[in-house]
Homo-oligomer: A and B are copies of this chain.
Amino acid sequence: MSVVPGVPPARYAYLGPEGTFTETALRSVPAAAKAELRPCATITIALDAVRDGEVDGAVVPIENSVEGSVAVTLDELAVGEPLVITREMTVPVRLTLLGRPGSDLFAVRRVVTHPHAAAQCRRWLAKHLPEAEVVQAPSTAQAAQMVANKEDEYDAAIAAPLAAEKYRLSILAHEIGDNGDAVTRFVLASRPAPVPPPTGADKTSLVAFIGDDHPGALLEVLEEFSVRGVNLTRIESRPTGTALGRYCFSIDAEGHVTEKRVGEALMGLRRVCADVRFLGSYPRVDKLPPTMRRGTSDDDFRDAEVWLARLRAGEGA
């Protein structure tokens, strides 16, 4: 996706508006440096732009270290035309309180922000602005815009520092998040393409659909991983959109689809589940290598294959 004379530049969609953490995430992708970036009003619109071939990829939030998964992203990836994740990025959630230039922290009565950001600043707000009312906005960037545009309604917004510049606001307080090390995780989704090569510290995402909701169905799914020594980093049962009570499991596992233990676990799921959707193998942003259990390396699998072939040929145990 590098820029070559005569070759059109890459295009990326992302959850807008400009100035959000999602744009920050996208800018960490090397190929995005000279690419055309398109902010989208919703996650759905951003992913549909990939499906329709209008862009080469889309960056959307998928998980927040404080607030958990982004349901829309999980569900959009789980159904419809297949998309795969080719990269993950994290952006530290450094939240600031933004007001109009010249405004005073002590005069703040109405704060506007996204509910997740509000939750992350709960202790700070209780201590410094115990009387302030907190109002919800669809995103932190929109909250900043609302403070800039509606002087009579909102006094301050909780948003990223980047938004101060964009909406010409002042920072009334820095780093007001209760957990210093909170981060948001984003993914770059694209149309199915050859899987990026394993790096030794990879993650594989998938959705496993359960046929009938018998007791032990979840345990069955988990054993396909555990028996091959594949550790999970995230799991969520999710309704499948038909009625409460019928489920699928959205899963992130350690390892890469080209590794034998991961491949065998995936095949196991394919056999016991009603359906499995592979959402990609990609490098872990934290570069943590997987926890490897004895007997689960590719060499161990190869040795066992040779041994089985000998047994079947009658060449002894």
Contact = CB atoms under 8 A, between A and B. Distances in A.
Contact of A138 (B42, B136, B278): B136
* Copies of chain A in the complex: 4
A123 to B, nearest CB: 10
Nearest to A235: B237
A291 interface: yes
Interface residues on A, range: 35 or more
Interface stretch (A18-26, A65-73, A99-107): A65-73
Interface stretch (A1-9, A30-38, A157-165, A297-305): A297-305
Interface string A183-222: 1010000001111000000000000000000111011001
Interface in A173-191: 179, 181-183, 185
A272 B294 contact: yes
A226 interface: yes
Given A236-B236, A243-B181, A44 B122 contact: yes
The CB with the most chain B CB atoms within 10 A, among A90, A138, A238, A244, is that of: A244
A263 B312 CA distance: 9
A273 to B, nearest CB: 8
B241 A182 contact: yes
Chain A residues touching B, majority SS: mixed
Interface string A46-83: 00000000000000000111111101101110000010
A111 B258 CA distance: 44
16 contacts: A44-B119, A65-B242, A66-B241, A67-B71, A68-B74, A115-B138, A137-B138, A182-B243, A192-B314, A216-B231, A223-B223, A266-B308, A266-B311, A268-B304, A272-B294, A272-B295
Given A264-B264, A267-B307, 17 more contacts: A41-B133, A44-B122, A66-B75, A68-B74, A68-B75, A76-B119, A84-B317, A215-B291, A216-B231, A235-B235, A235-B236, A257-B308, A257-B312, A258-B312, A263-B312, A267-B308, A272-B294
